[in-house]
Structure 1
């Protein structure tokens, strides 16, 4: 009788499972419903390995992209860490709240640790990256952002499909997971959200098509009671890798060939300047005050001018000083109104 040899199994990220599994006869026992549905054999191990690697890769790359954007906006260490972490976990948090499930990084804090560590590491190496010519539009940033987007899309679609068994909800979860963190990053950095504007290249469309391809390749394995089937015979893990690669390459083609969705032409000035960042510079009000004191210095216009403008304001606008009306020279002087412009 072969003794049971405990082996350390990979922690399934989607279920927050931690512990040990026992190998008997070369077949490992799995506690995940998805892996049990697939038979719990070596093919399931490969699929879970691909899914876990995609999950970790998406967290690290999204955190890197968020930190680079925050660093280019001259944020400090705390700001870069916050933006990088929100970029990594923001989309998944929105997805879990919509699905009514426990937020994934509360049960498995490894993703939060990875996001924080990558953000701090990128911030500390940012001066060296700048000296090498790294910018917001550099290929390193674009590839890291695309890797994070593609990985988040596949993981989000998998979770949505496993949770509901509905293709439309799964695609929606995949798109929200892939673009949610990026939208938070751009808004915090006062940038135009890349996923919502077509002036650069299409961003959300590769995620949408990648999620759709994942649903087509997955078949009915998420809601069938019997042995799952797929419309196309694929090796283990291909239903995750093929849509991920398709989403990544489509995003790369989008920024290479400037592919964008149709959009309306802008006919008036927007609050965003030509560089794509939000313009919040204070504008000096343009107005002109024309008050001419009437004869006697006790008319209605003179009284209104005395109430609205004090001595400093009248000197600033080049207006003559108002004289004290006749018959009131012996009275106590009333202090002028507070200068709200100073």
Structure 2
């Protein structure tokens, strides 16, 4: 079971690295910028989660995570050599897959560390959202989590699904949590679903 979770975690890191590489390409960054953006996207959220929980930061004792990032970035760079333009939708979909992985995996790691389900949902959301937030800030973009469309909410739903089902079957819980986050996020992208926003009453005058 732990072996399966480990490889799923590596896959999530790789997907987020692809997301960071795609944005670096859109921003016309050099090779160093690509690696920085890919790495921050891939491990930023998990790093913040571990620091908050007082746990050893996961990548400090396992270099495989960096191999996963480098491999994903290199494969993406090779693919991009044959593309003159990357639609924003491609970046959004890659990001959606990434948050689907990390919302559930962040909740799983938090529960495994002995924290209660409520904290697991919060940490799952942080794991999923904060890497992308750091990526967007470094690229001088408004973070996706602040752009209106459902984003963090989809991570909350996915992490909550995992915590509710984990006692029945951990792999089923992981699959349902990931699917819930990914489905909601893709629907939000497609139909521009968003939460209600506060507005100044003078806007209606």
Does the 8 Å contact 2:154/2:185 carry over to 1? Answer: yes
Does the 8 Å contact 2:166/2:172 carry over to 1? Answer: no
**Alignment size in residue pairs:** 202
Does the 8 Å contact 2:110/2:119 carry over to 1? Answer: yes
Q: Which runs of 5 or more structure 1 residues have no equivalent in the other structure?
A: 1-44, 220-229, 269-342
2:33 aligned with 1:79, yes or no?
yes
| Structure-1 separation of matches of 2:42 and 2:200 | 32
1:37-69 deviation line (CA, Å, top 9, x unaligned): xxxxxxxx4xx3542332122111100001111
By how many angstroms is 1:134 displaced? 2.1
| Structure-2 separation of matches of 1:68 and 1:164 | 36
Structure number having the greater helix percentage: 2
1:238-279 deviation line (CA, Å, top 9, x unaligned): 1111111111111111101111111134899xxxxxxxxxxx
Does the 8 Å contact 2:133/2:143 carry over to 1? Answer: yes
**Equivalent residue for 1:100?**
54
Does the 8 Å contact 1:164/1:170 carry over to 2? Answer: no
2:164 aligned with 1:210, yes or no?
no
Does the 8 Å contact 1:77/1:120 carry over to 2? Answer: no
Larger Rg: 1
2:113 aligned with 1:134, yes or no?
no
**Equivalent residue for 1:168?**
118
| Structure-1 separation of matches of 2:200 and 2:134 | 24
- Tell me the C-alpha RMSD between the 2 structures: 1.9
| Structure-1 separation of matches of 2:153 and 2:58 | 25
- TM-score normalised to the size of structure 2? 0.91
2:201 aligned with 1:253, yes or no?
no
Does the 8 Å contact 2:26/2:86 carry over to 1? Answer: no
Does the 8 Å contact 1:65/1:141 carry over to 2? Answer: yes
1:150-206 deviation line (CA, Å, top 9, x unaligned): 1111111011112133011111110010001000100000000011220xx211111
**Equivalent residue for 2:15?**
61
2:196 aligned with 1:244, yes or no?
no
By how many angstroms is 1:114 displaced? 0.9
- TM-score normalised to the size of structure 1? 0.56
